Amino acid sequence: MAKDYEIGRVVAVDTAQVTSELNPELKGMSRSTYEGPLEVGRINSCVVIPVGAQRLVAMVTHVVLVEESKLKADQTVG
């Protein structure tokens, strides 16, 4: 089960690009915070990627929808 702040996992890393896969258990792309509801994973939104003891802040630049049957283990979406 995903934690409240998790939306997916990193599946590929390139020089200036990180490809992630959304968690299939994710029910919606919004989270409620003390500041109000926030949409996550949208273009121009920021995501935090844990890298060891550090945190990398990244911006979502594009979103691709691909059927699971079309993905192979040695392919990345990009």
- Judged against a pLDDT cut of 50, whether residue 1 lies above it is answered with no
Joined tokens for residue 77: 């979406």
What are 28-51's pLDDT values in tens digits?
777 777 888 877 778 888 888 888
Domain-wise residue ranges, the chain: 8-67
Among residues 29, 21, 26, the alpha carbon closest in space to that of 66 is found at 21
Higher pLDDT, 8 or 75: 8
**Helices in the chain by DSSP H: which ranges?**
none
Average pLDDT of every residue of the chain: 77
Coil/strand/helix, residue 65: coil
